Amino acid sequence: MKNSKSKAIIILYLIFFIVGIAQSAIDPLTPVISKEINVGFDIIGIILFVSFFFLVAGNFFSGRLSDHYDTKKIIIIGLLLIFAGLLVFGIYVTLILFILTMIFARSGFGIIDSSIYAYVCQFFSKRRSIIFVRLNLLWYFGCVLGTLIISVLLFFNIKPMFLFIIVAAFFLIAALFFFKMAPSKDSQASIEAITLKKKQSFFQEIKFPVIILSSIILFFYAGAVFGLSTWLTTYFISFNIKVFIGSAVLSGYWIFSIIGLLITNFLIKRFKEVHILVIGYLIGAISIALVTFIPLIYIKIVFLMIQGLALSCVFPLIKSIPIEENPDASGTIIGFLLTIQGAGIMVSQLIIGIIAKNLGVGAIIYIIMSSLFIGLVLTIILFTELKRKKISIQNTSFPDISIKKIK
């Protein structure tokens, strides 16, 4: 069992790495796809927006199902959906096939995201935070490699679509190896536990203040970070910075995020998750304020890198901390957190787009800063709630030493 669990976690690490490559490789190809299928950016945008609903739905339902069915099978279904979508995308692209590709791939990404986190909670509960950090770390490495490969292919005028056939093959291989090597959820669960799960509604499983607070933090944090990554080059245009330079800065931002996760991986063995979270968020929020108000572009870039380094701990830790509230419902909690995260990304993109059009691209940074500071306040409240809860548990754990008891 121990050997099969070790093999399973290695496969999960590789899956997150390949997911990073696949997701980051699709995004830069928007103009290429638009030309290939002969549609405008508005149609592409609508397709991407609609496909995101399938990703969010995959997050929610796979998380919920992971608490009641074999999570291993759910992961394999997600991998096969991604394989099907990317294979079609790599072989031939038309408008209809592109729509199907995005629906299949985004659904698959959503499914494996929730189910892999849930699988880790079920089989590696004591090492959960460390594994979450490493999964995110490998995803970042995949993102850097994916964008780099696409840049090289486009530079040499090589058709990039064949890359997705190779990536699709890796997803199929991962599904086969995971099916063969990974352990399944224990089917010998007690009748009482199953009955209890059936009695609990979704809202009963996520009603804890720590879970709700964590989800709202994710809403604002994810909206800010993905808003920043999407609109950074546009923001720099207001300072007469060319797009390719802005793109290089964005690559640097992700590299510093990787360094931040490496530091988090070191710190997590020595400090509590919530302490790392609060300090990292505080440094990141101060950094984005300096990016916002200091006019010198080089100083902006320096503090942007510091922000990426400091805030990289948020995604893995804010997903790990709430699991402790209700470990038996880990899949449902993860699915809920990722659903709120997805909603935050969608809302922020809409708001930033409206602000950029009406107030100018220079105003983008104020939306990002505001979101991060709201997240900081909520993180401090989360820290206070966890501290209050710990004190409450300690007080109720004292033995009864009353006079009546002694007598």
Q: What span, in angstroms and rounded, lies between the C-alpha atoms of 104 and 112?
A: 12
- Over the stretch 223-262, which tens digit does the pLDDT of each residue have? 898 888 777 877 888 888 876 777 778 778 888 999 999 9
Give DSSP secondary structure letters for 297-318.
HHHHHHHHHHHHHHHTTHHHHH
Q: Give domain 204-393's CATH number out of 3.40.50.2000, 1.20.1250.20, 2.60.200.20, 3.40.630.10.
A: 1.20.1250.20
Distance CA 329, CA 61 (A): 13
Burial of 157 (0-12, 13-18, 19+ CB in 10 A): exposed
In the block, residue with structure tokens 């820290």: 383
Alpha helices in 162-272 (DSSP H): 162-181, 191-199, 202-206, 209-237, 243-267
> Is 1-182's fold the same as 204-393's?
yes
- Residue 397 is predicted with a pLDDT of 52
The reported pLDDT for the residue numbered 64 is 85
Q: Which letter does DSSP use for residue 398 in this model?
A: S
DSSP label at 201? -
User: Count of residues for the chain?
Assistant: 407
**Which residue ranges of the chain lie beneath pLDDT 70?**
1-2, 27-28, 30-31, 41-42, 186-201, 243, 392-407
Q: How big, in percent rounded to 5, are the helix, strand and coil portions of the chain?
A: 85, 0, 15
Q: How far is CA 177 from CA 7, 15, 66, 255, in A?
A: 9, 11, 20, 30
**What pLDDT was estimated at residue 77?**
95
* Residue-level pLDDT at 406: 43
| Pairwise CA distance, residues 173 & 80, whole Å | 10
**248's tokens:** 């290089």
Report the C-alpha gap between 366 and 294 in whole angstroms: 13
Q: Retrieve residue 138's tokens.
A: 């490998």
Nearest 5°: the CA angle 371, 376, 378 is 95
pLDDT of residue 361: 80
**φ, ψ (nearest 5 deg) of residue 45:** -60, -40
1-182 folds as Growth Hormone; Chain: A; (1.20.1250)
Give CA torsion, residues 218, 221, 224, 226, to 10 deg.
Answer: -60
DSSP code per residue over 4-21 = HHHHHHHHHHHHHHHHHH
Nearest residue to 55 (alpha-carbon basis) of 130, 134, 127, 110: 110
Q: What is the DSSP string of 70-114?
A: -HHHHHHHHHHHHHHHHHHHHH---HHHHHHHHHHHHHHHHHHHH
- The tokens for 364 are 């983008």
pTM of the model: 0.79
Rounded Cα–Cα distance for residues 45 and 25 (Å): 17
Task: Compute the Cα dihedral for 111, 115, 116, 118 and give only its sign.
Answer: positive
The token pair at 174 is 């991962």
What is the distance between the alpha carbons of residues 372 and 282, in angstroms, rounded to a whole number?
10
Kindly list the domain boundaries of the chain, sorted by start residue: 1-182, 204-393
